[in-house]
Amino acid sequence: MRIFVVGSGVVGTATGRGLIETGNTVTFIDAAPERVSFLVGLGLDARLDLDLDVEPDSFVFLTLPTPNAGSRYDLSAFVAGTRTVGRALRSAAGVHTVVVRSTVDPGTTEGLVGPLLEQESGLRQGDGFLLASNPEFLRAASAAEDFRWPWMTVIGARNRRVQERLAELLAPFGGPVRIFGDPMTAEFVKCAHNIFNATKISFWNEMHTVAERLQLDLDAISDTVSRSAEASFNPGYGIRGGAPYGGVCLPKDTMAFLGFAAGVGVDLPILRSVIETNTRFLDRFDLRGSDGLDALPVRARTGVIDRAAVLSAGSVQPGAGWPVDQRPAPAAEGFGPAAEAFGPDSAEGTPR
């Protein structure tokens, strides 16, 4: 297969070299002369300019940098590289498939890349060129190994043949493959992947702060919890979007620990936001009773969440404990199992 890798940094180089090893013909494109010289010194085909005039149908991978600029991606290099590809498509002999491998906002492939390519090439998506998303999951320190032995390959494309060809191209590397019928889903997967990792790290950093205050060994605690908490070992637990958390333990224990931490002088913004987020879902989720009548909202039935207490927990003075008038009310008595029936995915210990 003929392949061009536009943007030949860590991700692009790992991608291209991995594809060379499975018998493909790969050309690296980069705007930095020193990078091109370095790659040529490694015996690779590297160029400053992309020329598709006499090339057969190929894959053109966009592996361009997308650093953040505050709370958004800086797409200046990404846009410049995409425009370069569009100009090359203008005189292309074949119908090329442009594959977005950079990490971008969901919707970028079809909402930005497609229009830019059309503008620069004068061609139409789906006719003059094809689009796909194939986000990378490479770590900087082990990018080459991560490409060769992926733990997951994600493909998003509307064209069925593009899906098949990309899957065939990446099949030699093994690992599970997830194929979606639109690029936006694949882009969202990559964003959620990184954010989930960041959230888990942040959670344990908060626990570290509390454990340090109590002079406890967090390594022993985290090693145990990673094996005891179903959220760690069950991939299906808690992933159903929109399902509120319920049961007796999760609401009361998150609230109680937030207050405990405030009492020892530690603010836990991650935990507080966990409670706030789930409270919003509890507020909008109505439970229907077994008698067929509309029941009260879950929050009203259980009394385990109090929004004012959540919002004010961060302002509790160190050592003051949890003010009595801000403690969450005890769960309502007399409801039995129905008090825990917050929907099919809410029971603790049950895959969500």
pLDDT on residue 334 = 29
Using pLDDT thresholds of 50, 70 and 90, give the confidence band for residue 11. very high
pLDDT tens digits along 280-300: 887 666 543 333 323 333 333
pLDDT tens digits along 318-328: 333 333 333 33
The answer to which of 47-51, 289-293, 335-339 has the lowest mean pLDDT is 335-339
pLDDT on residue 310 = 44
Contacts of 181 (CB under 8 A, 6+ apart): 156, 157, 158
pLDDT on residue 247 = 75
Averaged pLDDT score across all residues of the chain: 84
**Over residues 153-165, mean pLDDT:** 97
Tell whether the model's pLDDT for residue 266 goes beyond 80.
Answer: yes
Contacts of 248 (CB under 8 A, 6+ apart): 331, 339, 340, 348
Q: What are the sequence ranges of the domains in the chain?
A: 2-190, 229-340
pLDDT on residue 4 = 98
Please give the CATH number for the structural domain made up of 2-190.
3.40.50.720
The answer to which of 170-174, 179-183, 279-283 has the lowest mean pLDDT is 279-283
User: What percent of the chain shows pLDDT beyond 70?
Assistant: 80
Q: Are 29 and 5 in contact (CB under 8 A)?
A: yes
pLDDT tens digits along 63-76: 999 999 999 999 99
Can you give the pTM of this predicted structure? 0.80
**Over residues 81-108, mean pLDDT:** 96
Tell whether the model's pLDDT for residue 191 goes beyond 70.
Answer: yes
Q: 290 phi and psi, to 5 degrees?
A: -70, -15
The answer to which of 17-21, 53-57, 330-334 has the lowest mean pLDDT is 330-334
Tell whether the model's pLDDT for residue 306 goes beyond 90.
Answer: no
pLDDT on residue 240 = 86
Using pLDDT thresholds of 50, 70 and 90, give the confidence band for residue 26. very high
- Give CA separation, 68 vs 71, 103, 104, 236, in Å: 7, 11, 10, 31
- Give CA separation, 292 vs 28, 126, 172, 287, in Å: 65, 51, 55, 10
The answer to which of 105-114, 129-138, 325-334 has the lowest mean pLDDT is 325-334
